[in-house]
Amino acid sequence: MPRKTNDYLWIAVFGLLVAFGIPWFLWGSTATWAGLPTWLWWHIGWMVLAAVAFAGFTRGAWDRGMDIDREGTDG
């Protein structure tokens, strides 16, 4: 994938993570699942998704953005 396309993809991913981080559509909902409110499950799932996205980001895009040469570093 070309570098510009990859950069725009990561911008879109993090934009979506921010946009849907707060479940406005669940506010006022009294629905529960497994004893916890639905909005709390949304946050748990969203934090797992954000962790997976950040792990993917650190495997390439982070090094390029910080001008780090992975092959040229010690350790």
Name the residue ranges covered by the structural domains of the chain: 33-62
Q: Please give the chain's pLDDT, 75 residues, in tens.
A: 666 777 788 889 889 999 988 888 888 888 888 989 988 899 899 999 999 988 888 876 666 655 556 565 554
pLDDT of res. 68:
57
Report how far residue 19's alpha carbon sits from residue 45's, in angstroms, rounded to the nearest whole number: 15
Q: Residue 61 to residues 11, 46, 71: CA-CA distances in angstroms?
A: 11, 21, 15
Tokens 């497994």: give the residue: 34
